[in-house]
Chains A and B, each alone.
Chain A
Amino acid sequence: MLRTALHEIETAEELKKLISENENVMVCCGRMGPMCIPVYDAMEELEVEKPNVKFFSMAFDSPEAWIVRNDQACKGFMGLPFTMYYKNGKVAHATTSIQTMDKIKAVLKDKFNA
């Protein structure tokens, strides 16, 4: 269980439902660790700033997180968190390890025009 202000996705089915119902979705799949917390922190701020994007967290150690861990876009990833960007239900981009606010904003602009 993560302790962030973001809504935490608990099952793979819930993730599938959310990306099918929302055009632009960002999911940070990690732990409460030093590389993950700055990403959650940035997402919490962006949640207010960018209403056309839905921001969620998911616990990396949950068995249900297979949906992110086993995604082809994460092949070769060796650093937490795994951050997924879904557009119209499909993976538009994925990043590994810590990301700055600027890097996240750049992806949101590029992939979601947000």
Chain B
Amino acid sequence: MEQKIYDVLIIGGGPAGLTAGIYASRAKLSVLILNEGAVGGQMILTNEVANYPGVEKTTGYHLANSMKKQAREFGCIIKSNLQIANYELSGAVKNVELTDGSIYKALSVIIATGGKPRQLNVLGEDTFRGTGISYCATCDGEFFTGKDIVVVGGGNSALEEAVSLTKYANKVTIIHQFNHFQAFEYAIAEAKENPKISFVYNSVISQFNGNENLQSVSVKNVVTGDVSKLPTQGAFIFIGYLPNTNAFKGILDLNDMNEIITTSEMETNIPGVFAAGDSIAKRYRQITTAVADGTIAALSASDFVAKSKQHHLVMQN
């Protein structure tokens, strides 16, 4: 039996991938989204979305589910929680192989693999995840009621979450690798005005220590090299995101931060392969910018597929 060749294969089911799915399937193209995690991507990690135009206030989960439903209603097929083993993107027909051996074919591919929270990758991080280390203040904050905790990072997320954690914690120490913060002024001011928050600059965590639960962190001063132990029962880590692009090294053009380089039409260096969302090289990473990227990628892919089919017809005649 001849295998179906989709018009558009979308890798990733976050806001960029789902938007591309909505646009491409509404344009009557056959569209398949392959998603390695839960549909919604980083969007579902956002508890409150208050700046999505036209939606006064919602949760990332609701917004993701609405986008998923909308894409499915236009005929887009979504497969999630799978693992991709191999990409063959250079030919006229692109192949994507899963770890279970199944192969999906398409005339065009949109890469919308997004990003993942950056980890410290130091000793003890895996051991104490869920027993002292957390990446979500809203989820786990109350477990640290009355306790002394640390927050790692210097961006908006780190400072805003540190302030929100003072609702529960007795004391919050922000550990930051530089002597200045990258966060917006309002976030810095709010953190500095909070009497429960203290700061340790020019420092990184070199190890998490404890028995069943986290008991202390080893803090290394990056200027002097000195290491000291800071007793703590909790550590919240907010140090940004990494693009999910490892699979495309040597296939697509990436910049030095491993982000996919695209044109303004979301084209990559391979004809018929487009990219959108947090995995591409750009400055601002918001749900709205991912949605915009996904729209452009879908329209570009539609145009590419139409031209490919036209070319195929001409060659046949």
- On A, residues with C-beta under 8 Å from B are 31-38, 41-42, 45, 75-80, 95-97, 100-102
B61 touches A95 (CB 8 A): no
Which residues of chain B are within 8 angstroms of A37 by Cβ–Cβ distance?
38, 40, 44, 61
CB atoms of B39 and A35 under 8 A apart = no
Q: How far is the CA of A46 from the CA of B234 in the complex (A)?
A: 32
Q: Is the pair A78, B139 in contact by a Cβ cutoff of 8 Å?
A: no
B contact residues around A76 at 8 Å (CB): 131, 212-213
Contact between A32 and B61, CB atoms less than 8 A apart = yes
Q: List residues of B whose CB falls within 8 A of some A CB.
A: 37-40, 44-47, 59-61, 80-81, 83, 129-136, 138-140, 143-144, 212-213, 234
A80 to B136, CA, bound (A): 9
A78 near B38 with CB under 8 A, answer no
**Please, how many angstroms separate the alpha-carbon atoms of A36 and B60 in the complex?**
13
Tell me which of A31, A32, A77, A101 contacts B81 (CB under 8 A): A101
**Complex CA–CA separation, A37 to B134 (angstroms):** 16
A-B contact pairs, 15 of them (CB 8 A): A34-B138, A37-B40, A38-B37, A41-B38, A41-B80, A42-B81, A76-B212, A76-B213, A77-B143, A79-B130, A79-B131, A79-B133, A97-B130, A97-B140, A100-B37
Shortest beta-carbon distance from A50 to chain B in Å: 13
A80 touching B38 by the CB < 8 A rule?
no
Nearest 3 CB-CB pairings of A with B? A97-B130, A96-B130, A79-B130
Q: Is the CB of A78 within 8 A of B130?
A: yes
Known: A34-B44, A78-B234. 5 other contacts (CB 8 A): A37-B40, A41-B81, A78-B140, A80-B140, A101-B37
Measured CA separation A38–B38 after assembly (Å): 5
- Taking the closest CB of chain A, its distance from the CB of B153, in whole angstroms, is 17
Name the residue in B38, B131, B134, B212 with the highest tally of chain A Cβ atoms < 10 Å from its Cβ: B38
A35 to B234, CA, bound (A): 17
The answer to whether B131 and A77 touch across the interface, beta carbons within 8 angstroms, is yes
User: Per DSSP, are chain A's interface residues mostly helix, strand or loop, or mixed?
Assistant: loop
Which of A34, A41, A42, A45 meets B136, CB within 8 Å?
A: A34
B44 is contacted by which of A38, A77, A79 (Cβ under 8 Å)?
A: A38
Shortest beta-carbon distance from A31 to chain B in Å: 7
Q: Please give me the residue from chain B that is nearest to A97 by CB atom.
A: B130
Are B80 and A33 in touch, CB under 8 angstroms? no
Task: From the candidates A31, A41, A96, name the one contacting B39 in the complex (CB within 8 A).
Answer: A41
Assembled-state Cα–Cα distance A41/B44 (Å): 11
Cα–Cα distance between A42 and B136 once the two chains are bound (Å): 19
Q: Which residues of B have CB within 8 Å of A38?
A: 37-38, 44
* B138 contact set on A, CB distance < 8 A: 33-34
B131 touches A35 (CB 8 A): no
- Indicate if the CB atoms of A31 and B38 lie closer than 8 Å: no
A78 and B141 CA atoms in complex are apart in Å by: 9
Known: A32-B59, A45-B81. A97 touches B134 (CB 8 A): yes
Question: A41 to B38, alpha carbons, bound, how many Å?
Answer: 6
Asked if A35 and B144 make an inter-chain contact with CB atoms under 8 angstroms apart, the answer reads no
Cα distance A100–B38 when bound, in Å? 9
B136 touches A35 (CB 8 A): yes
Q: Which residues of A contact B130 (CB under 8 A)?
A: 77-79, 95-97
Chain B residue numbers with a CB within 8 Å of A102 are: 83
User: Are the CB atoms of A78 and B80 closer together than 8 Å?
Assistant: no
Bound-state CA distance A31–B138 (Å) is 11
Given that A45-B80, A77-B130 are contacting pairs, would A33 and B38 also be in contact in the complex, using a CB cutoff of 8 Å? Answer: no
